[in-house]
């Protein structure tokens, strides 16, 4: 059975009160539309027709930015005037194979359950509806059934009677039709309703009139099929998404000390026996090894963390690679292109940028190391700075193995500290230091006897 998918993404979303197209508002760190397209692509359709209207170019550029491997299957359709869901689908139908089954999804329903969609796509009815029974039906179209419980139509709340508003089964909007049937029904749509719009839901009544089989699939989890129309809806969708991510992690063996207080905004993988404390944010592509402990309030972005490493509280790691059995933090910052080998210790208020640390090296507190190569078994004391920027260009600092850099020293790049060298505390190093040498750069200490402090007059 050939499958084609239409995704409706033309609305401005006035209730979002934003210049950003509604479908580009993020859930879990990526636009809602990308969640829908990923789900659509998982069904391996022949084509995905995306209907846009408001800021079409911006939407297309956003999808291209993510460069999904199914990009070539997307066909863009422009809806000049937003005259309802039925009108939106009409714009795509000329390019749809009439012999295909056509699944209709929505760009503002980001959390669709792929297993449910897969089950719908395998059905062979002329029309399949996805319905649900949420706790709050306000604003939703109600499913009309006859005495034998067969679907007879859908009534929008704006047009519903008081009795119909008491119906608890609602329309999610998601449906699948045979292409030829759908084209025929759309050609007979009218806009004789309170909104003056062409409702896609009217095709249900047409299918019943034509005695075409209508099958309703009731979604067990209505939250996965809720539309996002406001910032409140967006926040609700975000929590629903994060809860599902947390459950997936815990099912995979990760210990979350509070599943309600973790945010995954991308793709995160974990080894075994990991423990994550509260308020941790994982963004982009994050790979965590086995036995890793992440303390509260940490942010890890596009990084790899090796086995048995411990990340202490309030640490930020971005575009970095951390080896095994390291300890980072608290209050540490690893900036892009940082690479730490095994058993490295980076302590509180230490910032590392574009630098590599060899095995068992450490910078335990209050230091900045940028554009540097640091060997193994190096100790960098408190207050040490690599002065890598001359106001125009960045320069490199090279530190060999077994080097000791005393506290409050400045290494003015470009400079090389060879293996085994020692830098005395408070030194300003502007020249290379040879192997095993001691380098000292400080003013002679002077004592003034019986000196009196100034007194306030």
> If DSSP codes are grouped into helix, strand and coil, which group holds residue 48?
strand
CA dist 51 and 84 (Å) reads 12
Decide whether 3-225 matches 254-439 in CATH topology. no
CA dist 42 and 45 (Å) reads 8
> If DSSP codes are grouped into helix, strand and coil, which group holds residue 436?
coil
Bin 345: left if φ > 0, else alpha if -120 < ψ < 50, else beta. beta
> If DSSP codes are grouped into helix, strand and coil, which group holds residue 340?
strand
Per-residue pLDDT of the chain (457 residues; tens, 9 = 90+): 799 999 999 988 899 999 999 999 999 999 999 999 999 999 999 999 999 999 999 999 999 999 999 999 999 999 998 899 999 999 999 999 999 999 999 999 999 999 999 999 999 888 999 999 988 888 888 999 988 888 888 888 888 898 999 999 998 999 999 999 999 999 999 888 777 789 898 899 899 899 988 889 999 888 899 899 999 999 999 999 999 999 999 999 999 999 999 999 999 999 999 999 999 999 999 999 999 999 999 999 999 999 999 999 999 999 999 999 999 999 999 999 999 999 999 999 999 999 999 999 999 999 999 999 999 999 999 999 999 999 999 999 999 999 999 999 999 999 999 999 999 999 999 999 999 999 999 888 899 999 988 888 8
Residues of the chain by 3-state class (helix, strand, coil), percent to 5: 20, 35, 45
Element housing 61 (H / E): helix 56-66
CA dist 321 and 336 (Å) reads 9
pLDDT the model gives residue 419: 98
CA dist 406 and 284 (Å) reads 37
pLDDT the model gives residue 394: 96
> What superfamily would CATH give domain 254-439?
Hexapeptide repeat proteins (2.160.10.10)
CA dist 50 and 54 (Å) reads 13
Nearest Cα to 195, choosing from 157, 228, 226? 157
Residue 329 phi, psi dihedral angles, 5° rounding: 100, -170
Look up residue 45 and give its two tokens: 């359709």
CB atoms within 10 A of CB 73: 18
> If DSSP codes are grouped into helix, strand and coil, which group holds residue 405?
strand
Q: How far is CA 2 from the centre of its chain?
A: 32
CA dist 260 and 273 (Å) reads 20
Look up residue 122 and give its two tokens: 């395998």
Spans of all domains in the chain: 3-225, 254-439
CATH no. for 3-225: 3.90.550.10
226 Cβ partners below 8 Å, 6+ apart? Answer: 109, 111, 134, 233, 236, 237, 240
> If DSSP codes are grouped into helix, strand and coil, which group holds residue 419?
coil
Q: Which residues are part of the catalytic machinery?
A: 365
Residue 55 phi, psi dihedral angles, 5° rounding: 50, 55
């Amino acid at each position: 059975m050939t499958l084609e998918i239409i995704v409706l993404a033309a609305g401005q979303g006035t209730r979002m009160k934003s210049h950003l197209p509604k479908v580009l508002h993020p859930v879990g760190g990526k636009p809602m539309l990308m969640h829908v397209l990923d789900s659509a692509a998982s069904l391996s359709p022949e084509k995905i027709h995306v209907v846009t209207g408001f800021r079409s170019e911006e939407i297309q550029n956003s999808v291209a930015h993510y460069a999904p491997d199914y990009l070539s299957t997307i066909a863009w359709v422009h809806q000049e005037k937003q005259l309802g869901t039925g009108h939106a689908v009409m714009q795509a139908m000329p390019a749809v194979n009439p012999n295909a089954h056509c699944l209709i999804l929505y760009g503002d329903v980001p959390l669709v359950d792929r297993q449910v969609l897969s089950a719908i796509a395998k059905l062979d009815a002329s029309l399949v509806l996805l319905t649900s029974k949420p706790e709050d039906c306000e604003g939703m179209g109600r499913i009309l059934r006859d005495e034998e419980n067969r679907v007879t139509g859908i009534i929008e709340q704006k047009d519903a009677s008081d009795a119909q508003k008491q119906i608890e089964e609602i329309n999610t909007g998601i449906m699948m039709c045979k292409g030829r049937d759908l084209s025929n029904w759309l050609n007979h749509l009218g806009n004789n309703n309170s909104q003056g719009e062409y409702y896609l839901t009217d095709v249900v009544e047409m299918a019943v009139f034509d005695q075409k089989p209508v099958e309703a699939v009731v979604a067990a989890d209505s939250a996965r099929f809720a539309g996002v129309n406001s910032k409140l809806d967006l926040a609700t969708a975000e929590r629903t998404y994060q809860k599902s991510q947390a459950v997936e992690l815990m099912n995979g063996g990760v210990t979350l000390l509070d599943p309600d207080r973790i945010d995954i905004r991308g793709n995160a993988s974990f080894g075994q026996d990991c423990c994550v404390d509260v308020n941790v944010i994982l963004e982009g592509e994050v790979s965590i090894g086995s036995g890793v402990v992440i303390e509260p309030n940490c942010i890890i972005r596009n990084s790899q963390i090796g086995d048995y490493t411990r990340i202490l509280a309030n640490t930020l790691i971005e575009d970095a690679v951390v080896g095994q059995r390291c300890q980072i933090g608290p209050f540490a910052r690893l900036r892009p292109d940082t690479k730490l080998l095994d058993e490295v210790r980076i302590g509180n208020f230490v910032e590392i940028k574009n630098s590599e640390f060899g095995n068992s090296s450490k910078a335990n507190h209050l230091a900045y190391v940028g554009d540097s190569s640091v060997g193994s078994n190096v100790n960098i004391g408190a207050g040490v700075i690599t002065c890598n920027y001359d106001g125009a260009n960045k320069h490199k600092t090279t530190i060999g193995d077994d080097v000791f850099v005393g506290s409050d020293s400045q290494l003015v790049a470009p400079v090389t500290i060879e293996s085994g060298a020692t830098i005395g505390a408070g030194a300003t190093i502007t020249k290379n230091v040879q192997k095993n040498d001691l380098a000292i750069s400080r003013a002679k200490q002077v004592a003034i006897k019986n000196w009196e402090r100034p007194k306030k007059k």
